[in-house]
């Protein structure tokens, strides 16, 4: 591990850089409010630019200074596409993995997270997300319905892309929550899952119905996985730990992505819930495999590539049996 004195100095330095960048962003965000009544698209563009700048700073520290080692598998994503992004929720640092992909697809300015309402009071970062018009939800979906519908209407009117990011589990996974979720599954006759919680679908159904075929044509299903070479599956560095020293000497991160056409998802509420439960069952099984074998049996691919690159490859290699291509397809 790192020298504790240097580690502490670095942690203070990087915290200052991140919070400072964010506060400067907040300052311009407040100014941008002058534009809001007149031009919501421009307001959105300015705030998207500011947010992506702050996130790039955070990402640069994670990937380039701390050497966070992220691997990728599954479907490739095009550069210019709106999506509803579903991710399992493991830790406070999940955003690094989501942004790892979003940055490479040039969508950092277009992220709209579903967030707990209390988060908007978090100094600097919470304020920034408030200005970003993120989708803030209190515990009770019904009491927020009207406000969320307003936010949805605004998002829909934007001409830019959007990635609507939702953790369907509702909160970060903990052993107690897994137990409660399993009890619930027993009653409902759902599969018993170990590595994710059963998804809550009320918000998802509303999101799907709002954007289906209108602005968004795809679901991106992200499975976020953490591990440490010695300490095992599920171990991840805390935020202060990331700021304190290199994280490439043990910590490892993986993201598995599926790109699912919304047209393939049922339209009835109950059927959508079943679909989501099945999706999370598959996530659960994927995580189980990684728990035992990490990426040994998984084809890693370069996330910068797009589906078009795969098509080109396929036509070039023609009849030759290329196993790696087959495996990418199998995931669909
Ligand atoms: C881990 O890999 C081995 C060998 O490929 C395989 O037999 C086993 O089923 C895998 N474990 C899980 C949990 O999938």
Of 6-20, 256-270, 280-294, which gets the smallest average pLDDT? 6-20
pLDDT at 101 over 90: yes
- In the numeric block, which tokens belong to residue 158? 């934007």
- Is the CB of 297 within 6 Å of ligand 1? yes
Q: How many angstroms separate the alpha carbon of residue 313 from the centre of ligand 1?
A: 29
Nearest ligand 1 atom to the CA of 293 is: 1
Considering only CA atoms, which residue is closest to atom 12 of ligand 1? Answer: 289
Considering only CA atoms, which residue is closest to atom 13 of ligand 1? Answer: 289
CA-nearest of 167, 208, 169 to 83 is 208
CATH of the domain at 218: 3.40.1130
pLDDT of residue 227: 97
pLDDT at 332 over 50: no
- Is the CB of 174 within 6 Å of ligand 1? no
- Is the CB of 160 within 6 Å of ligand 1? no
| Mean pLDDT on 253-273 | 97
| pTM attached to this predicted model | 0.90
d(CA 12, CA 200): 38
CA-nearest of 180, 175, 168, 173 to 220 is 168
How many distinct structural domains can be found in the chain?
Answer: 1
Cβ burial of 108 (10 Å; 0-12, 13-18, 19+) is buried
DSSP 264: G
Nearest ligand 1 atom to the CA of 288 is: 13
Contact, 273 vs 188, CB < 8 A?
A: no
Sign of the four-CA dihedral 135, 185, 95, 86: negative
Parallel, antiparallel, or unpaired: how do β-strands 218-228 and 232-233 relate?
antiparallel
β-pair partners for 88: none
pLDDT in tens, 106-135: 999 999 998 888 888 888 889 888 888 888
- Is the CB of 292 within 6 Å of ligand 1? yes
Ligand 1 site-directed mutation target among 195, 233, 293, most atoms within 8 Å of CB: 293
Full domain range(s) for residue 15 = 4-330
pLDDT at 330 over 70: no
Cβ burial of 294 (10 Å; 0-12, 13-18, 19+) is middle
The size of the chain, in residues, is 332
pLDDT in tens, 158-183: 999 999 999 999 889 999 999 999 99
- In the numeric block, which tokens belong to residue 228? 């440490």
Parallel, antiparallel, or unpaired: how do β-strands 251-261 and 218-228 relate?
antiparallel
CA-nearest of 128, 1, 118 to 57 is 128
């Amino acid at each position: 591990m790192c020298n504790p004195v240097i580690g502490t100095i670095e942690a203070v330095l990087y915290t200052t850089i991140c919070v400072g960048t964010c506060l400067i962003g907040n300052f311009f965000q407040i100014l941008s409010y002058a534009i809001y009544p007149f031009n919501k698209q421009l307001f959105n563009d300015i705030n998207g630019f500011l947010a992506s700048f702050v996130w790039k700073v955070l990402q640069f520290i994670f990937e380039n200074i701390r050497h966070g080692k992220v691997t990728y598998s599954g479907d490739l994503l095009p550069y210019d596409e709106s999506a509803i992004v579903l991710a399992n929720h493991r830790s406070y640092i999940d955003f690094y993995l989501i942004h790892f992909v979003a940055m490479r697809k040039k969508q950092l300015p277009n992220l709209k997270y579903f967030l707990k309402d209390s988060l908007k009071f978090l100094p600097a970062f919470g304020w920034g997300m408030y200005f970003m018009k993120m989708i803030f939800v209190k515990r009770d979906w019904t009491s927020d319905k009207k406000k969320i519908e307003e936010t949805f209407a605004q998002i829909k009117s934007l001409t830019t892309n959007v990635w609507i990011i939702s953790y369907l589990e509702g909160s970060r996974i903990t052993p107690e929550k897994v137990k409660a979720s399993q009890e619930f599954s027993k009653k409902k006759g759902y599969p018993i899952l170990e590595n994710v919680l059963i998804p809550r679908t009320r918000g998802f159904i509303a999101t799907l119905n709002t954007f289906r075929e209108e602005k968004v044509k795809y679901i991106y299903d992200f499975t976020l996985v953490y591990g440490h070479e010695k300490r095992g599956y599920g171990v991840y560095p805390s935020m202060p730990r990331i700021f304190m020293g290199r994280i490439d000497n043990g910590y490892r991160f993986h993201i598995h992505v599926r790109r699912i056409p919304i047209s393939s998802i049922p339209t009835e509420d109950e059927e959508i819930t079943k679909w989501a439960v099945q999706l999370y069952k598959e996530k659960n099984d994927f995580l189980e495999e990684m728990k035992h074998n990490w990426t040994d049996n998984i084809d890693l691919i370069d996330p910068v590539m797009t589906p078009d690159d795969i098509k080109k490859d396929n036509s070039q290699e023609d009849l030759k049996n290329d196993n790696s291509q087959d495996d990418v397809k199998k995931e669909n």
